[in-house]
Structure 1
Amino acid sequence: MAMAMMLALAGCVSGPDYQLPASAVAAAPQARRAFVSGQEAAFTLAAPPDRWWQLYNDPRLDAYVAEALRANTDLRTADANLRRASAMVRQYRAQGTIGTDADASATLSHAGNYTPPASSPQAYALGINLSYPLDLAGGIRRGIEAASADAQAVAAARDHLRVTVAAAVTRAYVGTCSANLTLAAVQRVLDTQRATLDATHRLAAGGRGTAFDVSRARAAVNRSAAAIPHLVAERQAALFELAALMGRLPADYPPDVAGCQQPPALRQTIPVGDGWQLIQRRPDIRAAERRLAAATATIGVATAALYPQVSIGASAGVANPLRQGLSANAFGASIGPLLSWRWPNRRVAKARIDAAGADADAALASFDGAVLQALRQAETALSAYSREVDREGSLARARDDAARASGQAGQLYRFGRIGFIDVLSAEAALADAESTLAASRAQLIDRQVDLFLALGGGWSEDGQAEARR
């Protein structure tokens, strides 16, 4: 009967085989289509590259991202977690190999006058035992599947962190350049206002202006000058963040980026791909899918507990009184199947199977949620970037108009054609237009980073290969 049961179990693996559920959101045709917001002229349906930051064609940015991916402390932690997960896979695989143990003992006993003269108070025993699990129910194989899927989920989490670090480095670099760009814009306005203040002083001295005009001109200069310390603080904060992301001390930020005057700009349309490419590329989706695979394999691990655990064992040894040494009669050996089955355990095993099934259902829900969240983020980022492009164009035209109006107002005032309040109004409009345009250009690049982050680029298959080893 036991042999028949073993033959029936041979070649079977307990629990369901994993495959993407037909009911999963990722399997829906609607999730694999082109993006609704991706039809703008700024986008192309080509798949984005893994190293999306290289689209900016900025060697400094490339170098900063490369250094951060090597030295970032969070990524070092993620690499250690991946090594640990890979070691767990090897541990589970080792459970399906031959196990050995050896034992040795010696006895020396004497009970005074009660020890019979014929007895041997000194004896020894040496032995070695081998066992190989047959894994007829497939519990070990399912355990290896679960551990491998968990390791791949850890690798995907590491890849997601790579995306986040690359985006953070780009933001810090852009933040530094944008702060300097805004500083330059404020300085241009400040120079114009100081020239107006000097002209107002001269006009007042010649009797064509008043002290009130001088006070108002000086107030405009001071308002613009007051914006500079805040912009300098923002630039320094971006530099310190960049240093930390690169694994450096705050004071060790890259000195060459401190004077960056122009943020990097894309010279091409942005490749965005489609929904199916996004599902395959986003590391957080891959992590959720791998956790679902691990949860499915765990059902098989729990199911295997319903069946006997069979191993083939062998042992050899020698035992004899010490005074007789080694002799042919001292050796012994045995080989045969070893059957282990905890009884009764069906109610406990059934409960664990139900719990594993519930975990798999929760993992499927999380996987669906990750896909929906990713698609929503991509559509939102596409729409936000398109609208920021339109806004930046309008603001650029408004700045040009304000600059012309400010120059014209200065000339008209010098010839006495308009009042001083008109000059101040024109300069205030120019200051507002310059600062708003600079902020929009910084926001435009930030929207680009949001988009690349939503599209999930920045990782490779290296982590997957390491997790499978």
Structure 2
Amino acid sequence: MADCVSTRPAVRVLLAIVAALALSACAVGPDYRRPVQDVGATYAHAPEGRWMPADTPPRALPSDWWTLFGDAVLDELMRRMPQGNLDLAQAEARFREARAALDASRAGLFPTLGVSGAATREGQGVSRAGNPANTYSLSATASWEVDLWGRVRRDVEAARAGEQASAADLEAMRLSLRSTLAQAYFGVRASQRQDDLLARTLDEYARALEMTRNRLAAGVASPADVAAASVQLDQARAQRIRLGWQRQQRIHAIAVLLGQVPGRFRLADGPGLPTVPEVPVGVPSALLLRRPDVAGAERRAAQANARIGVAQAAWFPDLTLSAQGGYRAAEFASWIMTPARFWTLGPTLAMSLFDGGARAAAAASARAAYDAQAAAYRKTVLDALREVEDALVQSQALAEEQVARDRALAAARETLRQVTNQYRAGLVDYLSVVQAQTSALSAEQTALDVRAERLTASAQLIAALGGGYTPS
């Protein structure tokens, strides 16, 4: 009982020391501030009415942004993609790895506890007096490295930023894959529309060839007219063959995005090309929060900043508090008796006095790593701004081009109608008909291409704007 009372003052002193150290502890190293990067107040190429002043909350993209296109098949593909995509599975595994690293770093904030038991038999020399002897022991140990200079806290701060960066990487991968899937889907639908156009064109060319042969038999056409009609028909057939294998390659790409075997994948029929949606652009400052790659780069800068503190903490001594207690006796029956009890308690202070410049080099390396990550963050912001501006320029130009292409298509169809009537009346040769048909087909194909490009540009603009990403 006396031994128990005598240990209490030591325990009180130790607890007081721990409390004082915990209250006075500070974290060395610079506190993090996000690197400054000018982004401007508005986008230079945002169409009027689709951006808002900087003091107005921007209308954000929905998280399920693909529903803006109003295509049920695309919605189903987007729903299935996260379940089977292997690139996304890799990114998700890397995120779990980063989360585990955070949990491991947090463990340094807590004491380490252990327990051990032993039974030994030992002797010395050749004398039988006191030899051999048995020893039985049971002990528990506890140790805690006091985070006096904030090394562990900075390490946790770095690991937390690393986990957040990995989460942003996962979202960036998900956004990139969804954008790629949408663009591949639009390519397939445009190819199917082109195939329908070529199928109708082949029927028209086949009828024109038959008509020309009949006119040759009647003596009102030449063999050259028949040859020209035949060449035109074969060229259209060749275009359709090329279009077919290119469309199949896009379908195979969609299958891989879904994690399926390309040879067994079948794409459901759709209504055709979706409608180009109105995309809320917002303001440039929103990219700092709405782009997952920007968020990831910013978190890596925070991680590098915290590691400066970890490196600087190596210049200060480490304080470890340890305690051990238990029982030790020569007889098993009496090893938990009070006389067999033992305990130790005390702090340990350790510090490196000379390391050949290793700590200075580590601190300089950490500062250089932060400078690199800060520059990478600013570069990522600039790249994000460029991608948005590029997508805006492309979207506007394609919208204007589609108007011009539609007018050209209407003119080409009217020209073909008139030339065909003139040929039937014997006023022009068949070469004029071939030229008019070629122009009309080219105008039809180009108008479809522009519509598909507008859909692709919309998907690229949505991805450049962050695709509805909201950092957690």
Q: Does TM, normalized by the shorter one, top 0.5? A: yes
Larger mean CA deviation between 361-370 and 240-249 belongs to 240-249
For 2:184 and 2:232, the matched residues in 1 are separated by: 31
Give yes or no for contact 1:313–1:336 (8 Å, CA) kept in 2.
yes
* Structure 1 position 87 matched with structure 2 position 100: yes
Equivalent in 46, 64, 78 of residue 38 of structure 1: 46
**Alignment-derived partner of residue 405 in structure 2:** 395
Q: Structure 2: how far apart are the matches of 1:304 and 1:9?
A: 18
Q: Is the 8 A contact 2:51 2:282 kept in 1?
A: no
Moved more, 279-288 or 311-320: 311-320
Match of 2:282 among 273, 288, 299: 273
Corresponding residue of 1:365: 375
User: How many residues matched?
Assistant: 449
The CA deviation at 1:261 is 5.6
Residue 175 of structure 1 deviates from its aligned partner by 1.3
Q: Are 2:30 and 1:16 aligned? A: yes
CA deviation string 1:190-232 (max 9, x = no partner): 2222221111111111111111111111111111111011111
Q: Equivalences for 1:104-119 in 2 at 5 Å?
A: 104-110=117-123, 114-119=126-131
SS in structure 2 of the partner of residue 132 of structure 1:
strand
The correspondence for 2:85, drawn from 68, 72, 79, is: 72
Of 234, 249, 255, the residue aligned with 1:243 is: 255
Partner of 1:315: 324
1:185 equivalent to 2:212? Answer: no
Q: Identity across aligned pairs (percent)?
A: 29
Calculate the TM-score normalised by the size of structure 1.
0.90
- Contact preservation (8 Å) 1:388, 1:440: yes
SS of the residue corresponding to residue 316 of structure 1 reads strand
Which amino acid counterpart does residue 289 of structure 2 have in structure 1?
Q
CA distance in 2, matches of 1:424, 1:108: 108
Output aligned runs, 1:448-463, within 5 Å.
448-461=458-471
2:62 aligns to what? 49
1:411-455 superposed Cα distances (whole Å, 9 cap, x missing partner): 111111222221111111112112222222211211112211211
Query: Which SS does the other structure have where 1:307 is aligned?
Result: coil
The amino acid across from 1:49 in the alignment is P
Say if 2:302 is the partner of 1:293.
yes
Deviation of 1:77 after TM superposition, in Å, equals 1.1
The code of the aligned residue for 1:103 comes to S
Distance (Å, rounded) in 1 between the aligned partners of 2:324 and 2:346? 9
3-state SS of the aligned residue for 1:114?
coil
CA distance, structure 2, for counterparts of residue 330 and residue 373 of structure 1: 71
| Corresponding residue to 2:364 among 326, 330, 354 | 354
Q: Check the 8 A contact 2:111/2:142 in 1, yes or no.
A: yes
Distance in 2 between residues matched to 1:178 and 1:88, nearest whole Å: 46
Paired residue type of 1:64? L
Q: Is the 8 A contact 2:181 2:254 kept in 1?
A: yes
Distance (whole Å) between structure 1 residues aligned to residue 250 and residue 334 of structure 2: 80
- Report the CA distance between 1:120 and its aligned residue: 4.9
Change (3 A) 1:298 1:95: same
Q: Does structure 1 residue 418 correspond to structure 2 residue 455?
A: no
Residue 157 (str. 1) matches residue 178 (str. 2): no
Deviation at 1:285, TM superposition (A): 0.6
CA shift for structure 1 position 9? 8.8
Specify which of 110, 129, 142 is matched with residue 97 of structure 1.
Answer: 110
- Residue 59 (structure 1) shift: 1.8
Please state how far the C-alpha of 1:41 moved relative to its aligned partner. 6.5
Q: What is the TM-score of this pair, normalised by structure 2?
A: 0.90
Checking the alignment, whether the CA contact within 8 Å between 2:69 and 2:274 is kept in structure 1 is yes
Distance (whole Å) between structure 2 residues aligned to residue 140 and residue 219 of structure 1: 78
Q: Is the 8 A contact 2:60 2:468 kept in 1?
A: no
After TM superposition, give the deviation of residue 43 of structure 1 in Å.
Answer: 7.0
Per the alignment, residue 435 of structure 1 pairs with 445
- Return 5+ residue gaps in structure 2 as ranges: 1-16, 53-57
Q: Which runs of 5+ in 1 are unaligned?
A: 465-469
- C-alpha displacement of 1:11: 2.7
RMSD, matched Cα: 2.2
One-letter amino acid matched to 2:24: A
Residues 1:341 and 2:351 are matched in the alignment: yes
The Cα shift of 1:335 comes to 2.6
The 8 Å contact of residues 189 and 427 in structure 1, kept in 2 or not, is answered as no
In structure 2, do the counterparts of structure 1 residues 323 and 237 end up closer, same or farther at CA, with 3 Å as the change threshold?
closer
Which residue pairs with 1:284 in the alignment?
A: 293
CA contact (8 A) 2:50 2:282 kept: no
| Distance (whole Å) between structure 2 residues aligned to residue 76 and residue 323 of structure 1 | 56
* 1:222 counterpart residue number: 234
Whether contact under 8 Å (1:385, 1:448) holds in the other structure is: yes
What's the counterpart of residue 374 of structure 1?
384
Q: Are the structure 2 counterparts of residues 42 and 134 from structure 1 closer, same or farther at C-alpha, using a change threshold of 3 Å?
A: closer
CA distance in 2, matches of 1:283, 1:159: 6
Which of residues 138, 141, 160 is equivalent to 1:148? 160
